[in-house]
Amino acid sequence: MRKLILSILVLFLILIILPEAVAQCPMCRMSVESNLQQGGTAGKGLNAGILYMLAMPYLLVGTIGYIWYRNRINSQNDYPPVGHDQLN
């Protein structure tokens, strides 16, 4: 029950923060465009940040998948194969 309440709370907080995050996209775009017109390099930093944020979900899912796979293989090795007691 506690996990359910915590999950609902986290989802609620994400939904509250999401509109503010979406509202910032046009501001970043205008800021980068004006910076590039003046000869700045803010666009390169913004692109690197976007790639970093894009890589994190894949990294997290991959890590969780690897841990799940490793634990599953280890748990299968703890039990004897089916029919093992019938061989003797």
pLDDT tens readout for residues 70-83: 998 888 776 666 66
d(CA 4, CA 2): 5
The count of C-alpha atoms lying within 13 angstroms of the C-alpha of 68, restricted to the half-sphere facing its C-beta, is 6
In this predicted structure, what is the pLDDT of residue 62? 95
Calculate the average pLDDT of the chain.
81
Residue 70 included in any domain: yes
The count of C-alpha atoms lying within 13 angstroms of the C-alpha of 26, restricted to the half-sphere facing its C-beta, is 3
**65/80 Cα distance (integer angstroms):** 25
In a domain, 54, yes or no: yes
Mean pLDDT to the nearest integer, 60-78: 89
Number of domains in the chain: 1
Asked whether residue 85 is assigned to any structural domain, the reply reads no
N-to-C CA span, the chain: 47
In this predicted structure, the answer to whether residue 87 has a pLDDT above a threshold of 60 is no
pLDDT at 74: 84
Mean pLDDT of 56-73: 93
pLDDT tier, 41 (very low <50, low <70, confident <90, very high otherwise): confident
**Residue 8: inside a domain, yes or no?**
no
Is 10 inside any structural domain? Answer: no
